[in-house]
A and B are shown apart, each in its own frame.
Chain A
């Protein structure tokens, strides 16, 4: 009979042998796997080009850049990279981490971006130039619509104890800074009333068309749009396959798929209008770019993404002509506006380098709308430059 101690020792030896074999299997297995595996050029999940095998050169080795590139290459091309990522995220979730890369993982798998701080000097500059711009253009109606972000309206869904900015306070500050000639459109209040509905995508930083439809009702009243021109719109699901940017950014909810609804007139046709992308020199007959539904960022279905300047000629009988300064939140709002304006000029100041005063005069603009979401507005550094005289 073996004594207890002998048995213990024998087990210990056994453990060492097995672990050695397992260690060797992992180390040699993956080394070999990496050799055999074909390198990828592009990562769908991470949405970026992957590092390729660096070429050996004496200068590269001497200054160490070869080694650096090789290490990135090895990590980028590691066998089963996507699976490793899921393991890591899962481990962090187990440890109670609910934030990754500036994205919160909220209740029910809702991903929400951290709210931006509003203390930057760009904010003050933008507001000042907006006021100056309005003062220079007396006789035109000015509207300001600031959309709250998901982490504000859905703050109950934030992970426990998570801290982020308070957009209610930030927005009140903005409203106070704006001169009286600019009319405030309350989006925050409206969306708070509808917070139990699907007003934000769960994996993307945008609001949904449903949210835009509710806020449009408020906008209609402030703008005093003529009811007779307004065509009622109905939601149509255009894809069930949407996975937003927050999912890629954070690594959370990598299997989630969402539906995008587009709002169209009841017959399903947004006929008669012409959208002219000035920069690209392209004309289309629809506000929707269905080709974008085959791409990764399917939110691009609205207006085809962000262009510096869009000129939209509608079939509305209204005499009003609108100029919008906006970020991508406006892209799904514009469908609600086309029946109320004969013409809409859409400027994305981040990419626009033209002269807006000329734009106003040449097109006889009657109304100007600023439409931003809080996060973009508080980090924007291009609006004041576009508005400046």
Chain B
């Protein structure tokens, strides 16, 4: 199930809210766990068993690691075994097809391999489980004795499918006791509506432009169209993903949880280093805490530091998907980050911030081309189109696309920074009644517009008229 659907908003959520707030405290976690399992099974009923198995296995592993820590023997082995099983599962579902495909290309034999459907959210919940196991091993947290609490940590529906990736240490206490106040619920609602708006009203709308451009045959689009497509994707992925995170944070609050901020206006970054401090923060933190720092981080020799950066970025690339594009995309960022750190550190201080922002955005957009293209060579052709190799600078189609999407693009550009939000908060000034009215009306209108878009998603008039 996804949040931006009618079934979530008008069947699932109201039922869960009713049950959650009616039952006594002791039954709240079981209700949330049951709801999360239904949420998960809605789109992917088969993989529910995998999920249950995963919960049971890791629950036992956590306790086993802690027990062995106490006895001071074999804890490391237990951790390695548990981590290997989890990564093995992720690898089997996510990377085996890629691996076999590459082997088949290299070897004379053809290994048959079925196309496996990727269990929803496996990349996210595997990382959450790993953080739990490692934190138990590091004695940062105690193993969770309560199976329901542990199951809830792994499957909690607000962040199950697309994060933020919650680290166990951050949420350990909340699993046991948390309170919901009017203010907390209300701020969660605001977060949720804002996220829903970002996803449905902004990301989905501009997604149409990207679909049009990416459907054009390569080499037939003008440079203008290629830029519009790239810009559309740039906005779409940000508003889609950060909208989803906002909805997750908001829903979490409605049930008393606090999740970390996942996006912090990444498109106003003055460097790529800064961009990655603002983009998908929970993933970068995860890689920092569980890969980069254990490898020695930057407190080591230069060659080792470079190795650490490249390792993290290779993995980051692969985490996003099993294909050479994503590997290239990760390596691309690894190289830029090293360049910024070792070659450009002094130079960048002297460049005006606006220039740095524009350059950063250009690099990020090139990155997205690697990201959205179906193949590496496709990405290169697309980049070629953008600089006008073999294609006209602009054509009638491109101009039409620009003109019919101009308003939307301007709204998206404005919405990418903190400015709109700041101004919006200031409307009314000290006249609190006006502030209250403006905000309440705006958020309600946003919610209603989202419903309108969701209802009309299936607007599909059947035209039997034969003419």
Q: Which residues of A contact B (CB under 8 A)?
A: 4, 7-8, 10-11, 13-20, 22-23, 26-28, 30-31, 34, 45-49, 61-64, 67, 70-72, 74-76, 78, 81, 84-85, 87-88, 91, 95-99, 101, 159-163, 205-206, 245, 248-249, 251, 297, 306, 327-328, 350-351, 376
Contacts and interface: CB of A to CB of B under 8 A. Distances in A.
B399 A161 contact: yes
B460 to A, nearest CB: 7
A16 B465 contact: no
Given A27-B9, A75-B458, A8 B432 contact: yes
A66 to B, nearest CB: 9
A34 B10 contact: yes
B403 A96 contact: yes
Chain A residues touching B, majority SS: helix
Given A67-B43, A85-B456, 6 more contacts: A20-B186, A26-B451, A34-B10, A48-B462, A84-B451, A96-B406
Interface string B199-230: 00000010000000000000000000000000
A248 B463 contact: yes
A62 B405 CA distance: 42
A161 to B, nearest CB: 4
B407 interface: yes
Given A13-B183, A87-B448, A376-B467, A97 B404 contact: yes
A18 B461 contact: no
A8 B90 CA distance: 48
Interface string B434-464: 0110011001100111011111111111111
Contacts of A13: 182-183, 186
A74 B404 contact: no
A15 B404 contact: no
B54 interface: no
Nearest to B184: A16
Question: Looking at B406, B436, B449, which has the most chain A CB atoms within 10 Å of its CB?
Answer: B436
A95 B193 contact: no
Contact of B185 (A4, A7, A20): A20
26 contacts: A4-B430, A11-B436, A16-B190, A18-B436, A19-B439, A20-B189, A23-B192, A23-B447, A27-B14, A47-B464, A61-B45, A62-B46, A67-B45, A72-B458, A74-B11, A76-B458, A87-B448, A95-B407, A96-B403, A96-B405, A99-B404, A161-B396, A161-B400, A206-B467, A249-B463, A306-B466
Interface of B: 5-7, 9-11, 13-14, 42-46, 182-183, 185-187, 189-190, 192-193, 205, 396-397, 399-400, 403-408, 411, 430, 432, 435-436, 439-440, 443-444, 447-449, 451-467
Given A13-B182, A245-B465, A95 B205 contact: yes
Contact of B455 (A31, A84, A95): A84
Contact of A88 (B187, B436, B452): B452
A251 B182 contact: no
Contacts of A327: 467
A64 B190 contact: no
A81 B43 CA distance: 25
B467 A7 contact: no
A30 B6 CA distance: 10
B182 A30 contact: no
Contacts of A159: 404
A72 B454 CA distance: 11
Interface of B (DSSP majority class): helix
Contacts of B399: 161
Contact of B452 (A34, A87, A351): A87
A45 B399 CA distance: 33
B7 A46 contact: no
Please provide the 9 A-B residue pairs with the shortest distance between their CB atoms, ordered closest to farther. Answer: A16-B186, A48-B462, A11-B432, A87-B452, A84-B455, A161-B400, A75-B458, A46-B461, A84-B452
Nearest to A83: B452
**B14, B440, B461: which has the most chain A beta carbons within 10 Å?**
B461
A16 B432 contact: no
Contact of B7 (A19, A71, A99): A71
A63 B407 CA distance: 42
A99 B463 CA distance: 17
Given A16-B190, A30-B451, A75-B455, A205 B467 contact: yes
A46 B462 contact: yes
A93 to B, nearest CB: 11
Contacts of B460: 46, 48
A204 B84 CA distance: 63
A64 B185 contact: no
A318 B337 CA distance: 87
Given A46-B461, A71-B6, A97-B404, A22 B14 contact: no
Contacts of B448: 26, 87
Contacts of B43: 64, 67
A85 B407 CA distance: 21
B403 A17 contact: no
B194 to A, nearest CB: 11
A198 B42 CA distance: 53
Contact of B45 (A20, A64, A70): A64
